Amino acid sequence: MRFTSLADMNCSIARTLDVVGEWWTLLIVRDAFRGTRRFDDFQSSLGLARSVLTARLRRLTENGILERRAYQERPVRYEYHLTEKGRALLPVIAAMLKWGDDWVPDQNGPPTVLVHETCGETMHPVLTCPHCEGGVTTSNTHTEPGPGHRPASSAIPSAPAGQ
């Protein structure tokens, strides 16, 4: 029920959460960014039961975030690769990595660092405006209704259920 409501909300953040708003989704995507491709490797990273991981990989495949590619014929076995839609989640993952490093840090420092191969530096990406190239922060940014905005009375077709 709940996901129908999220998907129907007049908000791109809500619709994103409808697809990736369960913690395990983004951890599977995280592993895929690190190069994990095979079922057993996802399983050893995430510690999930096989049946649970099978269902989650199927959902990510159905949602077009991962695609299956056979890497062996008899018996057929598949690897899971990020699609363009899946790779487009990098900014979400990178933003969570930085927030975690800053606000819920490990006492020994970041467990994982991002390396920008262009310059070789370890970094957290910063948000920049594509027009003026200036920094984007809460103090210089605001939201406005866009072309797809609907009046508030129809913004949420039904209250999220099961909460």
Lay out the site mask for a copy of itself across 52-91 (x = CB under 8 A, - = otherwise). Answer: x-----------------------------x--x-xxxxx
Query: Interaction with a copy of itself in 85-114: which residues (CB under 8 A)?
Result: 85, 87-114
**Judged by CB under 8 A, which of 7, 38, 58, 81 binds a copy of itself?**
7
Q: What is the DSSP letter of 152?
A: G
Count of Cβ atoms closer than 10 Å to residue 89 Cβ: 20
* 72 burial type by CB count under 10 A (0-12 exposed, 13-18 middle, 19+ buried): exposed
CB of 70 to a copy of itself, least distance (A): 23
* Residue 68 vs 94, nearer CB to a copy of itself: 94
Residue 41 makes contact with a copy of itself by CB under 8 A: no
Among 38, 77, 81, 158, binds a copy of itself (CB under 8 A): 158
Question: Which residue, 69 or 136, has its beta carbon nearer to a copy of itself?
Answer: 136
Taking the CB of residue 125, how many other CB atoms lie within 10 A of it?
Answer: 13
CA angle 102, 133, 142 (to 5 degrees): 70
Q: Quote the least distance from Cβ 76 to a copy of itself, whole Å.
A: 27
Q: How far is CA 19 from the centre of its chain?
A: 9
Kindly state the DSSP code that residue 148 receives in the 8-state scheme: T
